[in-house]
Structure 1
Amino acid sequence: MTEISWEDAFCGEGNNCFRIGTDAEGKGYIAVAGQEDHPLTDSREALRTLIREIKAGKADHLL
């Protein structure tokens, strides 16, 4: 099993909490807090890009 280093949970309005993690192989992970055993995974660069795009407001239409 891959060892994932999880960051503290990020919680938005309405207590939608997510956790971001990485592993020693350079993969990035994102999971709903409490469901870390079912994460989405991709490269660290893809995760960085996702976070940058969200911060830039490109996912606001999903809210």
Structure 2
Amino acid sequence: MPDIQWEDPFCGEGANCFRLGTDAEGNAYIAIAGQEDHPLTDTREALVQLIRGIKAGKADHLL
């Protein structure tokens, strides 16, 4: 497993917590808090696009 630098957990209402992380090679990670040993992995640019899309409301229909 690469050396991932995890951010503090982000928790929404109802204690649905996840963490974002990056490594020195430019990869981005997202994991459920407490399950960081099983992250989803993609490029840092893909994570940026995901966050921008969420902020723009593109995932509101999932809520």
TM range (shorter): over 0.9
Q: Secondary structure at 1:45's aligned position in 2?
A: helix
Amino acid in structure 1 at the alignment position of 2:7: E
> 1:33 corresponds to which residue?
33
Segments of 5+ residues of structure 1 without an aligned counterpart are: none
Once the two structures are TM-superposed, the CA of residue 28 in structure 1 deviates from its matched residue by: 0.2
Number of aligned positions between the proteins: 63
Q: Name the CA distance, whole Å, in 2 between partners of 1:56 and 1:14.
A: 23
Amino acid in structure 2 at the alignment position of 1:27: N
> 2:45 corresponds to which residue?
45
TM, length-normalised to structure 2: 0.96
> 2:55 corresponds to which residue?
55
Report runs of 4+ in structure 1 exceeding 3 Å deviation: none
Amino acid in structure 2 at the alignment position of 1:35: Q
Instruction: State the identity as a percent.
Output: 79
